[in-house]
Amino acid sequence: ETGVTQTPRHLVMGMTNKKSLKCEQHLGHNAMYWYKQSAKKPLELMFVYNFKEQTENNSVPSRFSPECPNSSHLFLHLHTLQPEDSALYLCASSHKRGGLDEQYFGPGTRLTVT
Amino acid sequence: DQQVKQNSPSLSVQEGRISILNCDYTNSMFDYFLWYKKYPAEGPTFLISISSIKDKNEDGRFTVFLNKSAKHLSLHIVPSQPGDSAVYFCAASASGGNEKLTFGTGTRLTIIP
């Protein structure tokens, strides 16, 4: 238990569906992150939020839409996804922005787009 | 272009022996390096880190070595235990404005009892 929870743990959706992934951290951290992990590829950073403000959008397609209503919650809204978007989506948080502080990861949401 | 490389996708080691996981990087701006461990159905968990001002950092059975001239780091686990079986990710970041963690593809370590 890392103090970062993600729901749902598994999600199957069609290409025309709209769904949302939720992340919550109970660590009092200021920064939150979304990562994508595809098979045999490194974790890819998607978005960074620091104090609820988006500070990084790593060239992510607009069919992925993040939302950070407060420092403890992070959402990833999904719409009109493609089969190649099937992956493990990981949320992480850290005490301060940047890579100089270790990030704590949630268990991930395994997404399958059919 | 992969800036952090873990060239061994898998490694098997006898219990009690030393496990050595390797990582190479290409970006000379990287100055902070981390190792994460991941069990199936769980997110990565932080294991140990090292700043570029050091060449070694030790925490119990885990030691990370950094060779800046070779742009190489390694994680040593000794003695290896069955619970160490997991996927290990190397990650790197640069303090000069780039806040991203860049990850390698991981090495699956299997400890043989």
The DSSP-derived string for B27-79 is -TT--EEEEEEE-TTS--EEEEEEETT-SEEEETTEEEEEETTTTEEEEEESS
The larger pLDDT score, comparing residue A46 to residue A96, is at: A46
**Using beta carbons and an 8 Å cutoff, which residues of B are at the interface with A?**
2, 4, 32, 34, 36, 41-46, 49, 89, 91-95, 98-106
The larger pLDDT score, comparing residue B100 to residue B96, is at: B100
What is the tens place of the pLDDT at every residue in A41-75?
889 999 988 877 777 777 899 999 999 999 899 99
CB contact under 8 A, A42 and B4: yes
Which of B53, B79, B75 minimizes the C-alpha distance to B64? Answer: B75
Spatial separation of the C-alpha atoms in residues B98 and A98, rounded to whole Å: 7
pLDDT of residue A40: 79
Nearest Cα residue in chain A from B5: A42
- CB-nearest to A42 from B32, B46, B103 is B103
pLDDT band at B96 (very low <50, low <70, confident <90, very high): low
pLDDT band at A97 (very low <50, low <70, confident <90, very high): low
